[in-house]
Structure 1
Amino acid sequence: MATERGANIPPIKIYSDKFEDHVVLITGAAQGIGETTAKLFAKQGAALILVDIEEDKLKRVLQEIEAAGGKGLIRVCDISDYGQCEQVVEDAIKTYGKIDVLIQLAAIYPFHSIIEHPIDLYQKVLSININASFYFIRTVLPHMQEAGYGRIINTASGTLQLPSPGQNAYVTSKGGVIGMTRQLAVEAGPGITANVIMPGLIQTEHAWNLLSKPDGTNPVFDQLSEKQCVHRAGQPEDVAYTIAFIASPEASFISGQIFDCGGGATFH
């Protein structure tokens, strides 16, 4: 994990039984923030349902989790299809009897200007980034309401605060996720919270490669790190640790909120 120059942060403690009685469903679990989040919950005893469209990557993540003593199952799913999302939830309930935590990290973010954005791709962005969130909420929520407990964590983006050209569809979809989550918080019911994680620019392999220059430098990360209050690149672990707190029983009095995990690049 990256460190800020001059900082002296104590080691982070992981408790192997923190989530041992929890069932956690994570979308976008095959790589990046989703993979890191899945492994963090596995280390803390959770039973996982790992959801993604990329089967080979899902299998690798689960193998690594099981090799480290964790447990879970994978479900290959086109989350833009309501029927497939519903089937994933039904399978999870049959296997584990409940879903305690729903973490929605799956997203796509193509770059096109407004006037050049292909209509079919624009619709695909909305379908994956916001409609799928609704699909899983709609199918998971009744089970949480019956249990009287649940944590639903949806994902927005720091681009809402710092938009740049070419991100119209992505920013639009993430704005919708915030509105959906606030409405969900009102309707969720006793014991159930709904919140939004808002990552800034995070140094996943994909993001780093996408923004790197041929000489290996990455001026986008460098410039944003200087703008942030915390002067270092954001790491997938930063987001995963924040999610773990929001998903915990002790976060029971926090709902309908945005957790900006962007190093203080912007303020709310």
Structure 2
Amino acid sequence: MGKLENRVIIITGATSGMGKAMAVLFAKEGAHLVLNGRDQEKGESLLNEIQKFHSEVCMVYGDIGEAETNRQLVETAIKKYGKLDTVVANAGVLGLGDVASISIEKWQRTLDINLNSLFYLTKYAVPHLLKNSFGVILANASIAAFKAFPQHAAYCTSKAGQVALIRQLAAEYGPTIRANAICPGPVDTPLIWDSAKAFEVPEKAVQNAADATLMKRLGEPEDIAELALFLISENSSFITGTTVNIDGGITVN
């Protein structure tokens, strides 16, 4: 028996990076998965990878920044599996630019994907989570919720909003629903390389981020997936309304 045996879990932004690592690990632990992404080629590749060892998985393609996509995710879980146990809001974009230079459209898009999608997903999911004896909400936020970075005005704002919303969800729906946020530091995904474009020499910026951690390396997507597994499993049954940094110690200094 896996730690997530027969648990029905939604993961957004599941076709690459941390979301993909979560999907593979959760499937290995016995979960039934409803995954979201926009890239159909990556989505089919992920489904094929998971179905080699686990058949209970499906994909809902669509823009997670739209309320309707989130409604479809929840509806698919209920129709296919008859229940919903856990939602993992993982999808995210950077929306680079300082306050004066960022376009209104990019600002809004960043908040739609990073913050509003968490609201949409939980709005539709909470009624079903409350029907169970337990439910879990997990947001993949960032240390950017607590720390400013050059050209990351929209990103930092959206991540801080995620943390605030997670606390609100925990307060409103406990003890039935637990809600927590993961706050990764520098992780070796496409997102960190996009983030590095804000600097003159992106490769140097990424290396500097790795060197700034106490572990002297970037995190791996699998590192984040393992923490996510702990926080959605019964091993963390007394943890709610909090954030957990997983940053190699970069916020110590």
Contact 1:33–1:204, Cα closer than 8 Å, also in 2: yes
1:76 and 2:83 matched: no
Following TM superposition, by how much is the alpha carbon of 1:155 offset from its aligned partner in structure 2, in angstroms?
1.9
RMSD of aligned alpha carbons = 2.0
SS at match of 2:19: helix
Q: Which residue, out of 65, 74, 83, partners 1:98?
A: 83
Q: Structure 1 length normalisation: TM-score?
A: 0.87
Comparing 51-60 and 173-182, the one that deviates more: 51-60
Offset from partner CA, 1:87-123 (integer Å, 9 cap, x none): 2211210110111111111011121121111101111
Structure 1 alignment gaps of length 5 or more: 1-15
Distance, in Å, in 2 between the alignment partners of 1:131 and 1:51 is 16
Following TM superposition, by how much is the alpha carbon of 1:125 offset from its aligned partner in structure 2, in angstroms?
0.9
Distance, in Å, in 1 between the alignment partners of 2:174 and 2:50 is 33
User: 1:210–1:121: structure 2 CA closer, same or farther, 3 Å change rule?
Assistant: closer
Q: Which residue, out of 133, 139, 145, partners 1:160?
A: 145
Contact 2:147–2:156, Cα closer than 8 Å, also in 1: no
For 1:24, the equivalent position in structure 2 comes to 9
For 1:256, the equivalent position in structure 2 comes to 241
For 1:48, the equivalent position in structure 2 comes to 33
Structure 2 alignment gaps of length 5 or more: none
Offset from partner CA, 1:103-154 (integer Å, 9 cap, x none): 1110111211211111011111111111110011011111111112111001
Distance, in Å, in 2 between the alignment partners of 1:168 and 1:36 is 27
Contact 1:161–1:266, Cα closer than 8 Å, also in 2: no
Amino acid at match of 2:93: I
For 1:126, the equivalent position in structure 2 comes to 111
Q: Which residue, out of 209, 221, 226, partners 1:236?
A: 221
SS at match of 1:178: helix
User: 1:150–1:104: structure 2 CA closer, same or farther, 3 Å change rule?
Assistant: same
Contact 1:148–1:190, Cα closer than 8 Å, also in 2: no
Amino acid at match of 1:122: W
Q: Which residue, out of 161, 174, 177, partners 1:192?
A: 177
SS at match of 2:130: helix
User: 1:87–1:201: structure 2 CA closer, same or farther, 3 Å change rule?
Assistant: same
Contact 1:106–1:129, Cα closer than 8 Å, also in 2: yes
Distance, in Å, in 2 between the alignment partners of 1:243 and 1:164 is 25
The alignment-based identity, stated in percent, is 34
Offset from partner CA, 1:34-55 (integer Å, 9 cap, x none): 0111001011111110111222
User: 1:139–1:217: structure 2 CA closer, same or farther, 3 Å change rule?
Assistant: closer
User: 1:206–1:82: structure 2 CA closer, same or farther, 3 Å change rule?
Assistant: closer
Q: Which residue, out of 143, 156, 169, partners 2:128?
A: 143
Q: Which residue, out of 209, 212, 235, partners 1:227?
A: 212
SS at match of 1:198: strand
